[in-house]
Each structure stands twice: as C-alpha cells, then as structure tokens.
Amino acid sequence: MFYPENISIGLEQPEVSGFVTGKFVLETVEDEHRDRHLTVTVELAPGISPSDKIAQAAGESILTHLLRLNSEFAAYVPHHRRAPGIRLRETGDPDHFPPGAKHRYTRG
C-alpha cells in the first residue's frame, strides 16, 4: 500500500529537501494494541542534526503527498493512524544508510 515514490515526493518539497538526502526506509510498526503504523526513517543531509522541527515538516509533507497520490492510503487508513512516525538519522547511519551499500527502501 505504501510506495517509495509517494514518500520521495514528500521529501523533495522545499520545506524539507534542504535538510535531508532523500534516502529513507519505510516500515510498518506494530504498537501494543497490535495496530500497524507507518514509520519512515529519513537520512539527514551532512551537517544537519535531528530536530523536532525537521521531523514535523517531513511528516506533514509526506502525509500531504500520500493523501494526494495514494488513493488506497486515503481510503483505507483510519484518520487517527495516518500521520507517519518520522525517525531522523544522521548521514551514513550504519543501521539504515551504511556508506557503500545498496540502499533499500523497505524493511520487514
């Protein structure tokens, strides 16, 4: 249901693009009630530190474009579970964005 190209467009917007590299990892994370939520781990641009402001801007932009571009997401994801969780990682984070490795957009 989640397509990397929908997420990319959200990260390419001017309010976000100066802070990120464009690399991200999509995951669906299950909470204590066994509800699944979209989580997006985003690689920050070199020299940028994680902040709530960047995470909020990225989350809002991703959600706006998911709703605009992905009719399945807009129709079937309950309103209270739509906002993606955003995790920010510094450039080259070894767990998510190791240098020299082929980038993967999703995790199981």
The Cα 33–Cα 51 span in angstroms is 28
Determine the pLDDT at residue 2.
Answer: 63
Return mean pLDDT, the chain. 91
Q: Which pLDDT band holds residue 45 (cuts at 50, 70, 90)?
A: very high
Domain 4-89: CATH superfamily is ANL, C-terminal domain (3.30.300.30)
What are the domain boundaries of the chain? 4-89
Mean pLDDT confidence for 19-23? 96
Mean pLDDT confidence for 28-33? 86
Long-range contacts (CB closer than 8 Å, 24 or more residues apart) made by 96-101: 96/25, 96/41, 96/43, 97/21, 97/23, 97/43
Start-end of H helices in 38-106: 52-69, 71-76
Q: Which pLDDT band holds residue 98 (cuts at 50, 70, 90)?
A: confident
Determine the pLDDT at residue 30.
Answer: 85
